[in-house]
Structure 1
Amino acid sequence: MNDNCPNCPRQQVQPAAEHERGDQVSHLYRCPRCGVTWSTNRVLDAYREAA
């Protein structure tokens, strides 16, 4: 799942790493434009229904 950079206008940044645990998925991102890193934690069921 791609995400938008929280520091610059870059959109659709691909995750550098992913880890699933139970009903959650964690993604680690690094923006190729400005170099900022961030992570997200999402409940998988919420995104499976939206797909």
Structure 2
Amino acid sequence: MTDNCPNCPQQSVQPAAEYRGDTQVGHLYRCPGCGVTWSTNRDRQAYGEAA
């Protein structure tokens, strides 16, 4: 899964790290354009991944 940088126009940033829990997936991103870092937590069921 990719994300767009919240600080600059960079799109489709690949995660630098990922964590998959029972109900959520977390990604850590670092923008190759401006260097800002951010994280996301998403509900796995919303993406059809949770059992």
- Give TM-score, length-normalised by structure 2: 0.91
Q: What count of residue pairs does the alignment treat as equivalent?
A: 49
**Bigger helix share:** 1
Q: How many Å separate the matches in 1 of 2:32 and 2:48?
A: 28
Question: What's the % identity of the aligned pairs?
Answer: 71
1:5-47 CA-to-partner distances (Å, cap 9, x unmatched) read 0000000000000001111000000000000000000001101
Q: What is the root-mean-square deviation of aligned Cα atoms in Å?
A: 1.1
Q: Structure 2: where are the runs of 5+ without partners? A: none
- Give TM-score, length-normalised by structure 1: 0.91
Moved over 4 A (4+): none
